[in-house]
A and B are shown apart, each in its own frame.
Chain A
Amino acid sequence: MTSNTISNRLERLKWRLMDKTIELKQRLPQEIYQSPPSWWGYLLILPGILLVSFLFVGMGILTYYSFLTFDSIEFIIYEFTLENWRSFLTTDAYYFIFFRTIGLSLFITILAVGLALPYAYLTIRVRSSLLRKLLLISIFVPFFTGVIVRAYGWLIILGQNGLVNSFFGIFGLGPYRLIGTEIGVIIGLLQIMIPFAIIMIAPAVQNIDRAMELAASNLGANPFQTFYHIVIPLAKPGIAGGTIVVFTITAATYAVPALIGGGRVDFIANVIYRSLFDLSNYPLAATFSVALVIVASIFVLGIFQTLGSGTLGVDTGDSHE
């Protein structure tokens, strides 16, 4: 059989299929494909709604568990108690860990967004396409390795015999203890969070009209003044989005404090983990979880109110933008 013959047969098959498809379409009621009913759109968002509703149901269950009684042998006794909340609200150590979580999350958010903004600006505005590609690749490459792998990498770099202390050793300094300290955790988290912030800020920088910067320059502003008075205010939607994303992820982080913090720089997620898996104290873990969600939600609402929802694109109607 020649290739011509095969080709002709395939062509005939294709047209036959086309005819059948048109025939089938003509048999369907016209309304379905010409003016689809309005509820079709809702059908498409159903999976999303289901997933989000699971989250809300989960939060409801967590709240319910936070009022149940724990027993080391019976496990959970279905009697309501305020003991878990009392324990959470009256134990200094829990306060301390909670404030550390929120405090370090805020600090990391400020640093990550602050470092991400010039990076995003350079990535968008740089003239060399090669440099732009390199900057973009540098953002995405860290995502190819997991958080735990990166944390282990930092263990090697920050260790007593690691790269950083070897460098200090050249000058006769150190070795300094970085693993198991807040500095180590901050470095580890920053490296993870900066790419998130850049991804959120870059679209906002892209939307800034270049003519505005040129106008500022024509009026005598130097590059720093232009950046401060033009770029930062106009990049506010990206800054808001980046702030929300970085803060919420950092506040709930587990792996980096566990590995680089070496059990001495716990975040609230580490306490939740231990309550669940070491103590099997589900009610106490639920209490911490609900408290974390409440505090993080208050922070996010605060950002919405002051900076708007930014590149997250949620119109609350109350933004000051």
Chain B
Amino acid sequence: MPSDTRQNNGVDQSQNGIDVGSRRAFLGLGSAAALGSLAGCLGDDDNGNGNGNGNGGATDDSGAGDDEPEKPDQITVRAWGGVWEGSLEESIAEPFTEETGIDVQFDNTDRTVMQGDIRTAIQQDREPPVNVMWTVEPAAHEEYRMDLAEPLDESIVTNIDEMFNHAIPDVDDSIPYLTLYSYTYALSYNEDALEDITGSSEPPESWNDIKSDEFENAFGQYDNAYGFWPVFSELSDTPLDSDDLSAVYDEIEEFEPTIGHIGDDTSLTEQIREGEIACAPLIMNNLLDAYEDGEPVGWTLPEEGATLRGDSMYTPQNQSESELYWSQVFINFAAAAEHQSEWTESLGLPMTNSNTEPMDYMIDDPSYPTDEEDFETLLTVDLDVYAEESPEWFEEFNIIMGA
């Protein structure tokens, strides 16, 4: 694929940015000016994918721009294992390798351990252990606040312009990471277990219904109530940035007798499938296979809504110019509508590039946010507040559960 498309894409993107919003327009114009030399090597008109988003900029060996940084043999991406890594490899990494010749290695180190490794490497002025950090959105924001992320270069990550607003972090001076897909912590349930408890297989309409005695030990939670804090906040009518969170903690106290299991995706999914617990605020795609296999499981959005989250990618600081450049090209690949369409199929989650076609089953299900309206009805928390205060919330949750 010809390689000098980046100049045109860079300019177009700045223009597009003006349409989208002033902050992005500023960033787009700023990057177009400051990164003119890089923009000059980003490819030619033929590099588009038919919908104007490009697919990653300069990518092939034939006729690559002279100013383009040298290609590394490989880049390393931190990834979750299993279907997560499999889908990323199939939908993003393989096309990336095919077009650029750069091999993509995956590192399955736990994201929290990797955060520490990156932090240590940067503190010691060493190269980070991975070139692309794939992590949950709040952690990406926390790592941006820790100054671990190299801002994304909009002349390289051109697909930013097509992303939903939710995918782009709300920070003033840069785009440190990009959220590539979204999910909700919907109320997931086992119909048989619900019937045993309430006499009906219908799920509760409100999160408040779960606080009743009949749900004792029948409700699950993620570790640290991860993914439920906006709901606690909503139920207690107390914003999480309040000075006094005692009402929020009172909510946790009320839920405490109902919580029979605290765990991660795997264990919560298993507990619901086995009917050990009746329901939990679980990322909905965990039960998709079981649902399609006819197991008595399902998910719904209670009347208060559910927490919206996503997973993000960023490039850690202290990389060589070459690795940083191609790592950002990789992120651009992951954000391209063409590749996101494949990814959404294999991962079962709605993507954040607005030009990506969601799967049929996602369209009428509010648990799968597929347009800007869907995002607005879901619950979120300010990520700056989250980064600063969440250790205290988590500790308080664990204290209440432990006591």
Residue numbers of A with Cβ under 8 A of B are 70, 72-73, 75, 91-94, 96-97, 155, 159-161, 177, 179-180, 259, 262-264, 266, 271, 274, 276-281, 284
Indicate whether A271 sits within 8 Å of B267 (C-beta atoms), given known contacts A160-B274, A180-B260. Answer: no
- CB of A177 within 8 A of CB of B391, answer no
With A177-B260, A277-B110 already in contact, 14 other A-B pairs whose C-beta atoms are closer than 8 Å: A73-B145, A75-B146, A94-B399, A96-B403, A97-B402, A263-B221, A263-B262, A263-B263, A271-B398, A274-B398, A276-B112, A278-B223, A278-B226, A279-B391
Q: Which residues of B contact A92 (CB under 8 A)?
A: 399, 403
- CB of B400 within 8 A of CB of A159, answer no
Q: Which of B8-16, B125-133, B382-390 contacts A (4 or more CB under 8 A)?
A: B382-390
Write out, one digit per residue, whether chain B residues 110-125 have a CB within 8 A of any chain A CB (1) or not (0). 1011011001000000
Cα(A279)–Cα(B387), bound, Å? 10
- CB of B267 within 8 A of CB of A277, answer no
Q: Shortest CB–CB separation between residue B42 and chain A, in angstroms?
A: 34
- CB of B112 within 8 A of CB of A278, answer yes
Q: Which residues of B contact A161 (CB under 8 A)?
A: 274-275
Q: Which residues of A contact B395 (CB under 8 A)?
A: 279, 281, 284
Indicate whether A264 sits within 8 Å of B394 (C-beta atoms), given known contacts A72-B388, A73-B387. Answer: no
Indicate whether A277 sits within 8 Å of B391 (C-beta atoms), given known contacts A262-B262, A266-B402. Answer: no
How many residues of chain B have a CB within 8 Å of chain A? 39
Indicate whether A93 sits within 8 Å of B403 (C-beta atoms), given known contacts A277-B110, A280-B115. Answer: yes
Indicate whether A93 sits within 8 Å of B399 (C-beta atoms), given known contacts A180-B217, A262-B271, A280-B116. Answer: yes
Q: Shortest CB–CB separation between residue B199 and chain A, in angstroms?
A: 17
Q: Is B276 an interface residue (CB 8 A)?
A: yes
Q: Shortest CB–CB separation between residue B191 and chain A, in angstroms?
A: 15
Could you list 16 A-B pairs, sorted by A, with CB under 8 Å?
A91-B399, A93-B400, A96-B402, A160-B274, A161-B274, A179-B276, A180-B260, A180-B276, A262-B260, A262-B267, A263-B401, A264-B259, A277-B110, A277-B112, A278-B226, A280-B116
Other-chain contact of A72, B110, B119, B387, B399 (Cβ < 8 Å): B387
Residue among B119, B389, B402 with max Cβ neighbours from chain A (10 Å): B402
Cα(A91)–Cα(B113), bound, Å? 27
Q: Which residues of B contact A281 (CB under 8 A)?
A: 391, 395
Q: Shortest CB–CB separation between residue B268 and chain A, in angstroms?
A: 10
Cα(A281)–Cα(B270), bound, Å? 29
Q: Which residues of A contact B276 (CB under 8 A)?
A: 159-160, 179-180, 262
